[in-house]
Homo-oligomer: A and B are copies of this chain.
């Protein structure tokens, strides 16, 4: 099977022009077939507040009302996505910017209202692997923003980490798929106070040990559970680290396998 890399970047890179340019340079020279998924960062919040739209939070989580969804569609789907595409084109990467609505690539369903009504938030239901592969086969490099659709004309705000892992799982029927989650840290840390104490290899067994020893805690747990979930569903490898993990010389990041 041919290899496919799926790289996810978050707000910390998107928001800083220098970091973004440096990352896109690395991404553009990365060998083999690849897909980029980007979050949106605080730009949407900033523009929403300028437009007089209040950010509504429940239990620390953002509610996507109709007005907020419009801002997200403008900022993630337009401003961020199309500027990333234009920058990649200047680096000779033949990028194509997508939401889940384009070529029906990612269908989701509006999150059911339970205790909280999250509004126009989508939980991913189905990936159009064959459609995405048509783009890859045409030598285009898909660049996804964190927006999906429900198939009935409604766009939905969707978590970028979930989009990444679901695309990876879907594409693993066709390719040997690896995920690269780029974040602020060098990887999963043995000692949170030592930013260089990277756990280089993590598997189900060592993960359980680190959980038992309370070395992996808090927000890292759902993130890693999500990684193991992807591995259990066909993805070959998941890497976690900062953008420097895309350089060949650097091996100081976390690689997760089953």
Q: Report if A47 contacts B (CB, 8 A).
A: yes
Which B residues touch A149, using CB under 8 A?
86, 89
Q: Report if A75 contacts B (CB, 8 A).
A: yes
For A, the interface residue count at a CB cutoff of 8 angstroms equals 42
- Interchain CB contact under 8 A, B75 and A155: no
Secondary structure at the A interface, as helix, strand, loop or mixed, is helix
Partner of A155, one of B51, B83, B101, B134: B83
Partner of A81, one of B51, B70, B78: B78
Q: Report if A183 contacts B (CB, 8 A).
A: no
- Interchain CB contact under 8 A, B82 and A147: yes
Select from chain B the residue with minimum beta-carbon distance to A82: B77
**A49 smallest CB distance to B (angstroms):** 11
Partner of A78, one of B78, B85, B95: B78
- Chain A 86-112: CB-based contact to B (< 8 A → 1; otherwise 0): 110110001111110111100000000
**A165 smallest CB distance to B (angstroms):** 23
- Chain A 138-163: CB-based contact to B (< 8 A → 1; otherwise 0): 10100000010101111100000000
- A151-B90 Cα distance, complex, nearest whole Å: 5
- Interchain CB contact under 8 A, A89 and B77: no
Interface centre among A51, A77, A78, A149 (most CB of B within 10 A): A78
Q: Report if A175 contacts B (CB, 8 A).
A: no
Interface residues of A in 48-75 (CB under 8 A from B): 50-52, 70, 73-75
With A51-B51, A95-B102 as given contacts, are A78 and B89 in contact (CB-CB < 8 Å)? Answer: no
- Interchain CB contact under 8 A, A74 and B85: no
Interface residues of A in 183-222 (CB under 8 A from B): none
- A151-B92 Cα distance, complex, nearest whole Å: 9
- Chain A 20-49: CB-based contact to B (< 8 A → 1; otherwise 0): 000000000000000000000000000100
- A126-B42 Cα distance, complex, nearest whole Å: 35
Partner of A103, one of B77, B94, B99, B134: B94
With A103-B140, A134-B138, A138-B134 as given contacts, are A82 and B89 in contact (CB-CB < 8 Å)? Answer: no
- Interchain CB contact under 8 A, A79 and B70: yes
**A145 smallest CB distance to B (angstroms):** 9
Interface centre among A50, A90, A101, A147 (most CB of B within 10 A): A101
Q: A residues engaging B (CB < 8 A)?
A: 47, 50-52, 70, 73-79, 81-83, 85-87, 89-90, 94-99, 101-104, 131, 134-135, 138, 140, 147, 149, 151-155
